[in-house]
Chains A and B, each alone.
Chain A
Amino acid sequence: MYEHGGRTAWVVGAAALAATAVVAAVLLWVGGYDPARAAAAMWSGAFGTRGAFVSVTLVRSVPFLLTGLAVAVAFRAGVWNIGAEGQLYAGAIAAVWVGIEGAALPAWVLLPAVLIAAGLAGALWALIPALMKLRLGVGEVITTILMNFVGINFAAYLVHGPLQEPRGVFPQTEQIADAARLPALVPGSRLHVGFAVAVAMAVVLAAVLRWTRWGFRVRAVGASPRAAWAAGRIDAGAVVLATFLASGALAGLAGGVEIAGLTYALYEGLSPGWGYTAIAVALLAALNPVAVVGTAILFGALEAGAGAMQREAGIPAVWVVAVEALVILAVLATDQLMRTRVRGAQTPGDDEGNVSPEPARA
C-alpha cells in the first residue's frame, strides 16, 4: 500500500516546498515580477488571516476534497475513474433542479434531498462507464473521459435551454430556494456546512476501507484482482460496480455542495477541472481518505493564494496559473521521489529494476 512514515511526510513536504519556491521564484523573476511580493501575497491569501483561511482556503478545498475522495476510493479498487468532472456536473444539475423545484419544502427535507439527488446523479453518471466496463469490457479511462464531455456540455445545454432562468436572458439557471442552501459552518464566514459534510465523508470512507468487509474487498481487488478472485473468492465485478457508483456519488456530491453552498445556481464552467485536479489530490494523499483532507486543503490554499497573487501582487492570471501548476508538479514529483526511495529500501529487488531475488522468491 502507499504509506508514509510520519517523518517521511515531513521531509517530502519540506523538500517540495523548497523546490517549488526556487522554480516559481525564478519563473516570476524572469517574467519581471517580484517573487517576494508574490510569495507574501500567496501566503496571506491562503493562511494570512483566519478570515482568509476559513472563508477562502477551506471553501476552495471542498470540491477538491469530495472529488479527491471520489478518485481515491475508485483507484483503491483499481477503477480508473477519470470521470469525476462529468459526475460533478451531473450532481450539480440534479442539485439545482431539486433545489428549484422543491422550493415549497422545508429546509430539513429539501437540503438533504438536494445533496442526495446530487449523489444519485453522480452515481448514475458513473453507472454508464461501469456497465460498459463490466458488460462490454470497454476500458473506463476512455469512457469516463468521454462522459465528462457529455456532462459538461449537457450542463451548458440546460442553462441555455430547459433550465435557463425564467427571464430567459442569461445562460444560467434560476437560483435555488433559500431552504436548499447550505448554512454557514462558521457564522459570519463563507465556509458552509458542505465542508463538514466532506470531512465526514473522508472519515466514513477511511473507516469503511479499514474496518468493513466491503472495504477490505475493495482494497483486495485494487491491490491484486487475481489474488482477490483466487484466494479471496471476491466477486470483482460486484466490487468494481459498487466502488464505481460510490465514486460517482462522491463526485456528484461535490457538484451538489458547490451549488448548495456557494453558487446557488448552475452556470457553464461551474468547475475549472476539479475532477481532473482531484487525481493529483488523491495520489498525493496516497489514496488515503483522511490524508485527502490535508491535500485538498493544500490545493485550496494554492487556489486561494493564486487569487491573492493577482489582487495584491498584480501578477496576471496566466502567470498565476503557471506558478500554481509548477507547485503541483513540484509537490507530486518530490512526493513520488521520496516514495520510491522509501519503497526501494523496504522491498528487496525494487532498486534493481526488474528482479526480485532470493528473499522474495525461493
Chain B
Amino acid sequence: MTPVLASLRGLVRRFGSVTALAGANLEVFGGEVHGVLGENGAGKSTLLGVLGGVVRPEEGELEISGQPVELRGPRDAWRHGVGLVHQHFTLVPSLTVLENLSLGRDAGASGFALPQTRVRPAAERMMARTGLSVPLDELVEDLGVGDRQRVEILKALLREPPILVLDEPTAVLTPAEVDSLFDLLRELARQGRAVVLVAHKIEEVLAVADRVTVLRRGRTVLTSERGGVDPHRLVRAMVGEDAATQTAVGLGAATGGVVGEASGGLLAGEVVATLDGVRANRASGAAALVDVSLQIRRGEVVGVAGVEGNGQRELALLLTGRLSPPAGVATVPDGVGFIPQDRTVEGIVGEFDLVENMALALHDDPDAGRGMWLDWPWIRQEAEAVRSRFGVVAPDVGARAEGLSGGNQQRLVVGRELRRARDLLVAENPTRGLDVAATAFVHAEIGRITSVEGGPGVVLLSTDLDEVLALSTRLLVMTGGRLLEVPEGSRTREGIGRLMLGGLQPDV
C-alpha cells in the first residue's frame, strides 16, 4: 500500500468576484505521477498554488504525510517537502543560472562560502541525469523561455523534494526534452516520491501519469487510474457533457492528429511580404538571423518549427515591422497582425480595460477618430465585436485585462490581431497555454481567414510540432538563424525533429 503523501479536501478560494476553487479535492500517493487537467480557468494553478504554499485557501483541509498543515508561504511548503515549479518564471534575470539555482540555499558550515561552489557539482549531476541542459554561467536575462523553464525545473529538482509539483512545464520544451523530463518524473516516482503535473495536452498527461484528476469550474469532477480513461472521456469531463460535442472538432489538433489539411495552398495569391538576404543581430551582437530570404503570399500558412531561440523572435519582429534589418531588405505590409509569444507582457496592457487594449491596435487607424482625437465609442464597438465573436469572458469591455484568465487574455489578443491582419498575421506559439476548445478555435480562425479570397498570409512560429504540422501549407524549420524548407517526405515529427537538431550544433 503506497502512502498518501498529500491530501487536499474541499478547497474554496475566491479572488474578488471570481471563484477559482469551489470545493476541489486532490489526493496524491507516493510513487505516482499524478496528472491534473482542466480548461483555462478551471482552477488548476490555484490548486497547485495551495499545495505549493503560495495561495491560502478560505476553506478546506490540507494534509501532508498524514499531518494537517497550514502553509503560510512557499518556504513553509518547502519545509514540508513540497517543491513547486511555477508556470511563470520566478528567476532573477540579472543573476546567472548558477546564482539562481543557489538562491535560498544555505551557505554551508562556514557561513561564508557562497553556496554556488556546492551547487555547481550538484547541478551538473542533475543535468546529466535528466538531460535538461542549461548554461550555468549565463545570465538568466540572456536565456530564451525554453532555457528559463529548464532552469525552473532544475531549481526544484535540486532540492529533491518528496512532493514535486509542476505547473505546465512542457509548453516550451522540445519534444526530446519533454521525453527526457517524463523519464525523469517516472524515475522520481519509482523512488517513492509524488509528482503532480499540470499539462495542457491530454496526450502528454496520458503518456506519463499514473492517475489523472480533472477540474472543472473549481471542482474536482473526475479522478481515475490512467487505464480507466480515454481522451474523449477526459475532454467530456473537462468541458462538461453538453459542450463536448462542440469541441470534438478541436480534439484532433489538441491530441496530435491532423485537422483538415488547411486548404490554403490552392488560394495562395499575391506576395504580401518579402525578406531578401536579411540578417539580424541579438542585443549581444551575436547573429540571430543569417541570410534569410522568404516570401509570403496571401492565403498560405507558413509554419516555422524550431527550438526556441534559433532566430524565430527576430524573424517575427522583422515581419511585423518592429525591427529593421541591419543588412538585407525586408518588405512588409501595413496590415500586420502580431500575436506575440508572451501575451501578458507584450500582447496586452494589464491595467487597461478591454476597450483600451483594443485601441492598441487602432490608435493610429484613421477610422478610429478625427485628426488627433480618438473616437472611443467606435473603439468600444470594435472591442465588443471582438469580445462576442471570440468569446472573451469578461463582465464587460470596461473590465481590466489583468483580471481576465490567461485563456481569455489570449482570445482578446488573437481577436484583435486577426482583425488587424489585413495582409499578414505573424503568430508566435499562438495556442501555448490554451485549453482544448480555445486551441481549436484559434486553429479554426487561422484556417478561416486564409481560406477567404484576399485573406492574409500567415506565418506561424511554433515549438509545437503537432500544431505546425496540422496548420501549415508550407513548412520551414528555423535552426541557427537559418530557414530550411522541409521536404515533402520529411513532414513528420521525426523528420522535423532531425532538422531542428541540426540547429543545436554550435554555429557562431
A residues lining the B interface (CB < 8 Å): 1, 211-214, 216-217, 219-220, 223-224, 226-234, 345-349, 352-362
Residue of A nearest to B357 (CB): A231
On whether the beta carbons of A357 and B46 are closer than 8 Å, the reply is yes
Question: Do A360 and B360 touch across chains, with their CB atoms under 8 A apart?
Answer: no
Check A357–B15 contact: CB distance below 8 A: yes
- List chain A residues, Cβ under 8 A from B361: 231-232
Given known A-B contacts A357-B54, A359-B405, A362-B405, A223 and B15 have beta carbons under 8 A apart: no
Contact assessment for B434 and A233 in the assembled complex, using a CB-CB cutoff below 8 Å:
no
Q: A347-B400, A355-B54 are in contact. List 11 more A-B contacts (CB 8 A).
A: A213-B368, A220-B360, A227-B345, A231-B340, A231-B357, A231-B361, A348-B20, A356-B88, A357-B49, A359-B18, A362-B435
The verdict on A233 contacting B16 (CB below 8 Å), with A216-B359, A217-B363 known, is: no
- Within 8 Å of chain A (Cβ to Cβ): is B321? yes
What CA separation (Å) do A242 and B280 show in the bound complex?
A: 29
What's the Cα separation between A134 and B364 when bound, in Å?
23
A234 to B361 Cα, complex, angstroms: 10
Q: Measured between C-beta atoms, what is the minimum distance from A61 to chain B in Å?
A: 29
What 0/1 readout, one digit per residue, does chain B (21-53) give for beta carbons within 8 Å of chain A?
100000000000000000011111111010000
Q: Let me know if B40 and A230 touch, CB within 8 A.
A: no
Q: Is the CB of B350 within 8 A of A224?
A: yes
Q: Is the CB of B403 within 8 A of A360?
A: yes
Contacts A224-B345, A348-B403 known; A216 to B374 CB distance under 8 Å?
Answer: yes
* CB interface residues, B 431-457, toward A, < 8 Å: 433-435
A213 is contacted by which of B54, B88, B363, B402 (Cβ under 8 Å)? Answer: B363
Q: How many residues of B contact A (CB 8 A)?
A: 62
Bound complex: CA A356 to CA B45 (Å): 9
Rounded to whole Å, the gap between the CB of B98 and the closest CB of chain A is: 22
Is there an interface contact between A358 and B403, defined as CB atoms closer than 8 Å?
A: no
**If A217-B363, A347-B402, A347-B403 touch, does A358 touch B346 (CB 8 Å cutoff)?**
no
Say whether B373 contacts A213, CB under 8 Å: yes
Residues of A within 8 A of B45 (CB): 357-358, 361-362
> Which of B90, B364, B373, B413 has a CB less than 8 Å from the CB of A211?
B373
A362 adjacent to B363 (CB under 8 Å): no
Contact check, A232 vs B347: say whether CB atoms are below 8 A apart. Answer: no
A353, B344: Cα distance in complex, Å: 18
Query: Contacts of B435 on A, CB cut-off 8 Å?
Result: 362
> Are A359 and B41 in touch, CB under 8 angstroms?
yes
Which of B20, B73, B376 has the largest count of A CB atoms less than 10 A from its CB?
B20
Does B137 interact with chain A (Cβ within 8 Å)?
Answer: no
Q: Is the CB of A227 within 8 A of B346?
A: yes
Enumerate B311-360 residues with CB–CB distance to A below 8 Å: 321-322, 338, 340, 344-352, 356-357, 359-360
CB-nearest residue of chain A to B84: A355
Chain B 5-21: CB-based contact to A (< 8 A → 1; otherwise 0): 00000000001101011
Determine which of A229, A231, A357 lies in contact with B55 in the assembled complex, contact meaning CB atoms within 8 Å. Answer: A357
Are A362 and B434 in contact (CB-based, < 8 A)?
yes
| Nearest CB of A to B102, in Å | 19
B47 to chain A, nearest CB (A): 8
The answer to whether the Cβ of B56 comes within 8 Å of any Cβ in the partner chain is: yes
Instruction: Report the 8 A-B pairs with minimum CB-CB distance, sorted nearest first.
Output: A348-B15, A362-B406, A230-B346, A362-B40, A358-B46, A232-B360, A361-B406, A357-B46
Interface CB pairs A-B, < 8 A, 10: A220-B363, A231-B357, A347-B402, A352-B56, A353-B73, A356-B88, A357-B20, A358-B44, A359-B404, A360-B15
